[in-house]
Structure 1
Amino acid sequence: MKRHALIFGLVGGLLIATLQYTEYRFVIIEHSVELYSALVAILFAAFGIWLGLRITRRREVIRETIVIKEVLVPAEVPAPAQEEVSFAPNTAHQQTLGITPRELEILALIARGLSNREIATQLFVSENTVKTHCARTFDKLGAARRTQAVQRGKELGLLP
């Protein structure tokens, strides 16, 4: 009895597997164009989503970096005209470091909390020129950020 049930189960399983296989082949052959079209559409949609996320992430990271750099610069630094006129920078340190008068002027504007764009507008130069002067000044002062450059300039007597 157990033997008959086992044989009956095996034969039934083989018949079901055969029917499933033929049905599967029929579906694949009959609807192959639709299946391939759907597969291509899914691949292109996934690629588009991935590419869109990758592009927008880069822009967000750049924006965050700029915001972080702008937040580190003091927003309200007192800069009365009288103090700037009465203050004389330490020319010995300035010559030793090789800082030009234009670089010192830009460093003073950075200390007032101006952005590169605002400095460029005020000095009538391009923003790239301001960035170049900033990079050279940072190198000469050994600073990695704007706040470090301002602090180092004050320590050396270049800024009030």
Structure 2
Amino acid sequence: MKKTILIFGVLALAILALLQLSKYALITGDLKIELVIGGIAIFFFVIGVFIQKRLRNDEVSSQEIDQKQIDAIGLSKREYEVLLEMASGYSNKEIAAHLFVSESTIKTHVSNVFLKLDSKRRTQAIQRAKELHILPF
């Protein structure tokens, strides 16, 4: 985290320096410096995108799913798929369409998920699943 703050601090400092150079370019009327500033800005943009993708990849890899917990709870493969869809915010009807089953089948799976996670609502089930590290997000 400190490394990220340091990197963004250096980037912010570089942006401030570029703004001062652009102010100088306006006063002197030199267009070449503006082209250099534009190139540097694009360079920093690319660095920012790279850092963001790298941080997201690190977050995803650090949050591994605990398969033992899924087995201990007794969730079937289909119930786990339904839990993932629930966590994505889909309704029973939308989940049924995604998984190519009837809505009543999804209601049964949702009920089983609630029972196995000892919850009464979707939000409670999702929160419990996150606590058990069985959801990827």
TM-score (norm 2): 0.53
2:93 is aligned, of 117, 134, 142, to 117
**When the two structures are aligned, how many residues end up with a matched partner?**
79
* Counterpart residue number, 2:104: 128
Whole-angstrom distance in 1 between the partners of 2:64 and 2:85: 15
SS of the equivalent of 1:149 reads helix
Q: Cα distance, 1:101 vs. partner?
A: 1.4
Q: Secondary structure at the match of 2:90?
A: coil
Inter-partner Cα distance in structure 2 for 1:88 and 1:108: 14
Cα distance in structure 1, aligned partners of 2:94 and 2:120: 21
SS at match of 1:119: helix
Alpha-carbon distance, 1:102 to partner: 1.0
Alpha-carbon distance in structure 1 between the residues aligned to 2:91 and 2:131 = 22
Decide whether aligned partners of structure 1 residues 92 and 116 sit closer, same or farther in structure 2, where only a CA change above 3 A counts.
same
Question: Rg: which structure is higher?
Answer: 1
TM-score by length of 1: 0.46
Instruction: Give the match for residue 139 of structure 1.
Output: 115
Residues 132 and 151 of structure 1, relative CA distance in 2, 3 Å threshold? same
Shift of 1:125: 0.2
Q: Give CA deviations for 1:98-139 in whole Å, capped at 9, x if unaligned.
A: 011111111111011100000000110000010000000100
Aligned-partner Cα distance in 2 for 1:144–1:110: 14
Question: What are structure 1's unaligned runs of at least 5 residues?
Answer: 1-79
Per-residue CA distance 1:75-109 (angstroms, 9 max, x = gap): xxxxx9xx889964211111111011111111111
Say if 1:122 and 1:137 are closer, same or farther in 2 by CA, change over 3 A.
same
Match of 1:102 in 2: 78
The letter for the 1-side match of 2:126 is V
Gaps of at least 5 residues in structure 2 are 1-55
CA pair 112-84 structure 1, distance change in 2 beyond 3 A: farther
